[in-house]
Amino acid sequence: MCGIAGWVDWERDLTEERPLLEAMTDTLVPRGPDAGGVWLSPRAAFGHRRLVVIDIEGGVQPMQARRDGEQPCVLTFNGEIYNYRELRSELQGRGHQFRTRSDTEVLLRSYLEWGEQCLSKLNGMFAFAIWDPNRQGLLLVRDRLGVKPLFYLPYAAGALFGSELKAILAHPIASAEVDVEGLAEVLCINQTPGHAVFRGIRALRPGHYAWIDRRGCRELRYWGLENGGHADDLPATTEAVRELLEDIVQRQLIADVPVGTLLSGGLDSSAVTALATAARNREGRGRLATYSIDFEGNQENFQPIAIRPEQDNPFARMVAEHVGSDHTELLLGTDEVVKARSEVLRARDIPGLADTNAAQYLLFREVKMRSTVALSGDGADEVFGGYLWFFDQRMLNAATFPWAVSVAGFEPVLDPELWQKLRLREHIADQYAQTMAEARALDGEAPADARIRQMFYANLTRWLPLLLDFIDRMSMRVGLEVRVPFCDHRLVEYLWNTPWAFKTTEGRVKSLLRNAVADLLPTAVLDRKKTSFPVSQHPAYEQTLRQQMRAELADSNSPLLPLVRRQAVLDLLEGPLGAQGMWRSADTLSLLLQIAEWLRTYNIRIR
């Protein structure tokens, strides 16, 4: 796992631009703390920061390789290719000779052999760039589900790219400008495909590649969700899911560094943990490391709500004991969560879910002290249908994203003129309409099934990429590689066309997954309801939020003041900060505080 950055330009000699390229690459040191490298040529320049996971000695980047009689192509790569061993054997059969054991060289030689057609052969999570001097063009690629990020800024004479926005913003061509649409994305915590908040910068969409040459930039799709039939009956489907999961987890355990799992005690992370333990046992390897978190005071202060009906740790302990893992419980303090919010902002470069992101960051920081790779259960709810909104008819039939921020809570506190310009309700409505237009029903599909298909499509293309963005940015900020087995494209493709009735037999949520791993887990875990990622419920946390917001509003130089109605925010501070559906008043305060720090730290110009 790594960080990549680069630059192509048709009008200047980039061999003279090492300081600028190094400045871009240096912003990514947390993603790749183990090593770094740069490569320069007249038209293209690449940077790389490396987190060593496979082939410690041989996987140095940027990497070069050539076809017979041609100039060498150059690769800078972030991610993992899980089927690299099979691809290596196939390429050797076609005459390729390898200098390393790395998946990096397999990826580069796959391009040499098949060009862009190699993308259909890759199994993994990846974002990479290849400079092909023979075609005088740059290829940018992002994996099918968007597990790994990649941003780019095209301009008249070339383009910049990077794993994170900060790499592009480190270049003087880029500008930290945000227009009204970008600010709406921030306030709605939206993940519009291709949108990167900052003016001019694009996020390469999942399942797409971009080709950039003298004629300009083209972004093309190489993978997407395709409607089709499902031939297997329920027993065969259950068996197929189990076989897929076993193969996926087996592949994702491959590493030359310590590997663990993130174990909440929920069905998804417990299934991954049990499958990983079984795979290690087959290979005669030692006990699997597992990790869970809780917050100081949650035993006394925990209050169940619809999305968080119970605490995790009793179930995590149960699973750890059941599989015999080497389990670590991490206890986070309220003051740690508050302090982590600044680091969270610098990790993501734009505001997000401050509380959840801070908890993720702190968890990953602690895990990194013991493991370099961790497998996660994220993605299971999106592919098996585990969220409340798949079953609550009110949420299912609402003409909006069920996870959408309640923008009505922003209307009283935002400056009235800004509120009118932002059009937050219209922004979400437009994005929802576009999503629904993309989600095609099967011919002859019943309306109820077509609606479920639409909900799956929205989850996989709008909600999941946001969650994956959070995971990548928080984990890579501490140099931890998080792998997501449920996002393997083979599983996603299979489940996309699996009938909804198979996923909910006897009215049981995620029954297909539960039945596929029934022999691996305790009954209490198999029957457990979904519980969302934990956050601090300590009264001291809300008190700190109130204090920080009062201090922000008292600062006459605060960049937040032109955006809000000061008295309305003060009034909000006087009321309860508890849950309002999925969104709390505390979340509104956290987001506004993040926006203030973002505007100040990144010197944002709002147009």
Low-confidence ranges of the chain (pLDDT < 50): none
Q: How far is CA 191 from CA 10, 35, 103, 252, 402, in A?
A: 32, 32, 30, 27, 14
Active-site residue 73, yes or no? no
**544-554 per-position pLDDT tens digit:** 889 999 999 99
- Return the structure tokens found at 592: 């506004």
Helix (H) or strand (E) holding 195: none
Question: Are the C-beta atoms of residues 503 and 384 closer than 8 Å to each other?
Answer: yes
- Return the structure tokens found at 186: 């921030």
Integer Cα distance of 184 and 178 in angstroms: 10
Beta strand ranges found along 163-308 (DSSP E)? 177-178, 202-203, 208-213, 216-221, 259-262, 289-295
Find residue 8's DSSP bridge partners.
44, 159
Integer Cα distance of 549 and 379 in angstroms: 34
**316-343 per-position pLDDT tens digit:** 999 999 999 999 998 888 788 888 988 9
Give the full edge-to-edge strand order of the sheet including 44-50: 35-40, 44-50, 2-9, 158-162, 151-155, 202-203
Q: Among 42, 44, 47, 52, which Cα is nearest to 23's?
A: 47
Q: Among 480, 539, 9, which Cα is nearest to 300's?
A: 539
Q: What is the pLDDT of residue 422?
A: 95
Q: How far is CA 453 from CA 444, 514, 525, 603, in A?
A: 13, 21, 27, 42
Find residue 40's DSSP bridge partners.
45
CA atoms within 13 A on the CB side of 425: 7
Question: Are the C-beta atoms of residues 125 and 119 closer than 8 Å to each other?
Answer: no
Query: The whole model's pTM is what?
Result: 0.95
Q: How far is CA 568 from CA 412, 553, 561, in A?
A: 6, 11, 12
User: Per the residue annotation, which of 2, 118, 188, 487 is the catalytic one?
Assistant: 2
